[in-house]
Structure 1
Amino acid sequence: MTRIAIAGASGRMGRTLIEAIAQSDDLRLTVALDHVSSPAIGQDATAFLGRNSGVIITSSLDALAQADCLIDFTRPEGTLEHLSACQTHRVNIVIGTTGFDDAGKAAINEASQSIGVVFAPNMSIGVNATFKLLDIAARILNAGYDVEVFEAHHKHKVDAPSGTAIKMGEVVANAWGKNLDDVAIWSREGHTGPRETGKIGFSVVRGGDIVGDHTVYFCGAGERIEITHRSSNRAGYAEGSLRAARYLANKKTGLYDMPTVLGL
């Protein structure tokens, strides 16, 4: 049994992960972490499921000594703190957190020299299949088509565009042999003038309880191709995360992404 720690144990994603682990045959929840100010501190991690696991939610990162792998969907500053503790205790980590700056990404890369790390903008198996479809479409539709990336998330999401939307733009740009930063249009307002050829536009919605919608439009003369992924709940992210944790079970070091985990 692989021993799993969950960061943000009382949050929406944390609880989804805990429930998925409870239903698995080869993974066992041994550590549940939350912020020191969380009202869930001291509670049983599976109390919300109507049963007790014996795993008490704690803010002590020393608890990671009881885990083989941490799954983290928190925020960049929290994840980086957890990453350091994982290095101390030689615990692998699956990172679903988005919004890292260059320094944060460098810290993750450095940590992968001493522990196993899966780091991806989206852990969903379906989303990663969508990335593959986008690569194929972008190579075929490499001239005469304007590309727009649309994404929508719940009102609590703190970064925009989402890491998934940015990755979608990167997939298209790379298929065109370009760097996303050179072709991205992150926002539009006022008198923008005609749309430039070869650019990739982004638009964002934040509101309500939207789990996650992403669409990439390839707009040509007389036709429009849309490649869409919609999440109705967080179960897909949890399943992908558990697959990533299983992948790391026999890894001591290294930085891996979800296409590698999924064999894509």
Structure 2
Amino acid sequence: MATDVIILGARGRMGATLANLANADEDLNLKAVCERPGNCDGLESFGCLCGDDLEALLPDCPGAVIVDFTSPEASIATAKIAARHGNPVVIGTTGLNPEQVAEVEGIAKDHPLFWAPNMSVGVNVLLKLLPQLVQALGEDYDMEISEIHHKMKKDAPSGTALKLAQCLAEARGWDYDEVKNHCRDGIIGERPKDELGVQTLRGGDVVGDHTMYFFGPGERIEVTHRAHSRETFASGALRAAKWLSGQKPGKLYAMADIF
């Protein structure tokens, strides 16, 4: 039986990709698309329910999984509305602050909720493998991350870079907030041993590049993930929607739960 989905922000780059892929997937039924007020022109082309008021759409979409790649504030509002109507939600929005993450975690205790800053299968496999590399190399290797995204991206560092950095820090036994360095400028002195730098580049239409560096005595290891298309993330989010439709509430689910 096909899983009903609702795509938010369907006129945006990610939203349109999600809606088109959902329409092409025989295991999904694009039940509705939603946009912010004043931005709904052309939504009828998706051949489903459409509008600018999610709350008004949900009575006609019982059980449909909402997929949200919008903004932190909008995603929190979506989770609250969905909870009132009993609809599961997949959130791919980045840039959530600790308070917003805690709010989502609270909602997830009673309603099926999934959140991942990166829906790519490759990135999530990396999150499984990187701790092994960190532990095998040992403390003589300095760790750094660089990330590149298109010039329209609003948050920095990217949610994926932060997730990768937290993974590396945890594997080393560090508190990430105590060792992170997101910017270097001026006479900064020698690099502390217990430091993890995350540097941001923005420009053009880069979908997403992340490189992890391990600088050791006489050698350097680089591990890079490059996303060539937004379909990489959209496919992962729709995979999550299919999976979430059969899950019960109780925790904030992530890609690791699918694997």
TM-score (normalizing by structure 2): 0.94
Alpha-carbon separation, structure 1, partners of 2:147 and 2:75: 24
Q: Which residue identity lines up with residue 228 of structure 2 in the other structure?
A: S
Do residues 237 (structure 1) and 233 (structure 2) align? yes
Unaligned runs of 5+ in 2: none
Aligned match of 2:255 in 253, 258, 264?
Answer: 258
| Matches for 1:210-249 after TM superposition, within 5 Å | 210-249=206-245
Distance 1:256 1:198, change over 3 A: same
Do residues 21 (structure 1) and 22 (structure 2) align? yes
- The answer to whether the Cα contact below 8 Å between 1:41 and 1:57 also exists between their aligned partners in 2 is no
TM-score (normalizing by structure 1): 0.92
- The answer to whether the Cα contact below 8 Å between 1:124 and 1:236 also exists between their aligned partners in 2 is yes
Worse-superposed segment, 228-237 or 59-68: 59-68
Do residues 174 (structure 1) and 177 (structure 2) align? no
| Matches for 1:30-69 after TM superposition, within 5 Å | 30-38=31-39, 40-41=40-41, 43-46=43-46, 53-65=47-59, 66=61, 67-69=63-65
| Matches for 1:1-264 after TM superposition, within 5 Å | 1-38=2-39, 40-41=40-41, 43-46=43-46, 53-65=47-59, 66=61, 67-254=63-250, 255-261=252-258, 263=259
- The answer to whether the Cα contact below 8 Å between 2:11 and 2:43 also exists between their aligned partners in 1 is no
Aligned length in residues: 255
Q: Which residue identity lines up with residue 63 of structure 1 in the other structure?
A: L
Show CA shifts across 1:211-238 (max 9, x none): 0000000011211111110011111101
- The answer to whether the Cα contact below 8 Å between 1:186 and 1:202 also exists between their aligned partners in 2 is yes
RMSD: 1.4
Give every structure 1 segment of 4 or more consecutive aligned residues whose post-TM-superposition deviation is greater than 6 Å. none
Unaligned runs of 5+ in 1: 47-52
Alpha-carbon separation, structure 2, partners of 1:199 and 1:153: 23
